[in-house]
Structure 1
Amino acid sequence: MTFETDAAAFRRIMGHYPTGICAITGMHPDGKPVAMIVGSFTSVSLDPPLVAFFPDKASSSWPKIRACDGFCVNVLADDQEELCRVLASKNPDKFDGVTHDLSPRGAPIIEGALAWIDCSFHAIHEAGDHYITLGKVHALDIHHPGAPLLFHKGTYGTVTPLSRP
């Protein structure tokens, strides 16, 4: 039994829990689309409809998203691993060659994403070395059928349906 509580042990143990991968996008006040990748996204409330994601305080992309009027959550598909890597990079022009439409509130909806959720910022709370970012949902839709891109034990993966009798 392990009773370690250091950051490395915490990361290793939490890595056993698979997470979906989302691209959080926004339109920066300078008119350029911005993005960050998160594996920590969840629904919070039905009334009012709220979602949350948890950006790292040290993220270089988070201040760019925070400067936007709102954000769009793009649920990435299992064939978007390379796109995920591009949007997670430090490249200042992450959207070069990335096909996208705009959500009703003006944030990028990435082509090929499974679903999108268009939000305004509802609240932001400090939580250790991260923020808890709550978004009020204004519009959402299924964009593309398929399976989600997952992250588990340090690698990308996908859902394998269980066979049922």
Structure 2
Amino acid sequence: MPMTMSTMIDSDSFDPRDLRNAFSQFATGVTVVTTIAPDGERIGVTANSFTSLSMDPPLVLWCPGRHLRSLPAFETASHFAINVLASDQQHLSKQFATGSTDKFDGVPLREGIAGIPVLEGTLATFECETVARHEAGDHVIYIGQIQRYAHAAADPLVFHAGSYHGTTTQRSTEGS
């Protein structure tokens, strides 16, 4: 079924809400990014602005908004973890998206590199050392070099057009 594009919008007439709706057409995975503050407080936020960046060296990036209350903790932290959520972990996405006092309440954890909290039972985890930080509009780009990772076989939690979606994984047989 062919799709019909909406009217093309030029940069001089961008509507922020409409632009956000256009961005939301790109389906993303859902992660919880964690770190530890200098005072030992565990920090965690839900993020979908995550991507692999390089294989050599192994790098990832994520992009928190400047409005994030916990941004100062990430600015001072030497390490962070990306915890990729599985399709049955929507509750974790919501829990870490709130402003609650202890977002980690009831969440199975292990201590990662440099004491960072790592969520147990996720689809994948990447424990990273922060190697670069770049200002970018109303966000900050964090680049991390992977120090340790783990992954499991399960279906991912996906976010598209403002809603969570599960998937049915169809494994490719190419290259087998």
Separation (CA, whole Å) in 2 of partners of 1:163 and 1:58: 38
Q: Is residue 148 from structure 1 mapped to residue 156 from structure 2 by the alignment?
A: yes
Separation (CA, whole Å) in 2 of partners of 1:24 and 1:149: 15
- Show the counterpart of 2:8: 2
CA contact 2:37–2:73 (8 Å) conserved in 1: yes
1:13-52 pair list within 5 angstroms: 13-52=22-61
Q: Which string of whole-angstrom CA distances, capped at 9 and with x for unpartnered residues, describes residues 96-142 of structure 1?
A: 11111122332222122111101011111111100111111111111
RMSD over aligned CA atoms reads 1.7
Q: Match of 1:156, as an amino acid?
A: Y
Gaps of 5+ in 2: 1-6
- Show the counterpart of 1:110: 119
Deviation of 1:145 after TM superposition, in Å, equals: 2.7
Of all paired residues, the percent bearing the same amino acid is: 36
TM-score by length of 1: 0.91
Q: Match of 1:74, as an amino acid?
A: N
How many residue pairs are counted as aligned between the two chains?
163
2:91 is paired with a residue whose SS is: helix
Q: Match of 1:148, as an amino acid?
A: P
Structure 1 runs, 4 residues or longer, greater than 3 Å off: 161-164
Q: Which string of whole-angstrom CA distances, capped at 9 and with x for unpartnered residues, describes residues 78-97 of structure 1?
A: 11111111111111211111
- Show the counterpart of 1:131: 140
TM-score by length of 2: 0.86
- Show the counterpart of 2:89: 80
CA contact 1:119–1:139 (8 Å) conserved in 2: yes
1:105 is paired with a residue whose SS is: helix
Deviation of 1:61 after TM superposition, in Å, equals: 2.3
2:147 is paired with a residue whose SS is: strand
1:94-109 pair list within 5 angstroms: 94-109=103-118
Deviation of 1:24 after TM superposition, in Å, equals: 0.5
1:64-79 pair list within 5 angstroms: 64-79=73-88
Separation (CA, whole Å) in 1 of partners of 2:150 and 2:170: 26
Q: Match of 1:83, as an amino acid?
A: L
